[in-house]
Amino acid sequence: MINAHGGPLVDRMVPHPEEMDATLTTITLSRRSQSDLEMIATGACSPLTGFMSQQDYSSVVEEMRLANGSVWSIPITLPISAEQVSNLKGVEEATLSTESDGVIGKIQISDIYKSDKGREAEKVYLATDDKHPGVA
């Protein structure tokens, strides 16, 4: 079998999400973020083991590489609202949920940062037009 990009295939599937700690702060995912989470969990985004840290995000935008040097061309981040940012101050772990499925995962919070959408559009997509699907 061919190795996954960047090394071993990542498996972050949660066997029983309904058994997760109900007292944790919850982040409700958009459909896009749910799709990204599913791709990370199943190994389709190997070697990523979660949404990108600020260090990986900046490196991907500027160099098309993860901070460890692995080639990676598109940032995979978890966008959250300003309200969610304030709810997550000092929180180290949160559950991830969807409106339709309830809790589907959890996240270890290493950092919270604001992405630079303008710079990302220019460097990653080579476009700034909102009609471009990566920019919109």
Interval 2-19: pLDDT, tens: 788 888 888 888 888 778
The side-by-side arrangement of strands in the sheet containing 25-28 is 25-28, 93-98, 102-108
pLDDT at 29 over 90: yes
Residue 2 domain flag: no
pLDDT at 134 over 80: no
Determine contact, residues 47/70, Cβ cutoff 8 Å: yes
Tell me what the mean pLDDT of segment 21-28 comes to.
91
Residue 14 domain flag: no
Range of the domain at 93: 24-125
Report the C-alpha gap between 1 and 74 in whole angstroms: 26
Residue 131 domain flag: no
Q: Total domain count for the chain? A: 1
- Sole residue written with tokens 């080639």: 71
Residue 8 domain flag: no
Residue 91 domain flag: yes
CATH number of the domain enclosing 110: 3.10.400.10
Interval 89-128: pLDDT, tens: 999 999 999 988 889 999 999 999 999 999 999 999 888 8
Residue 67 domain flag: yes
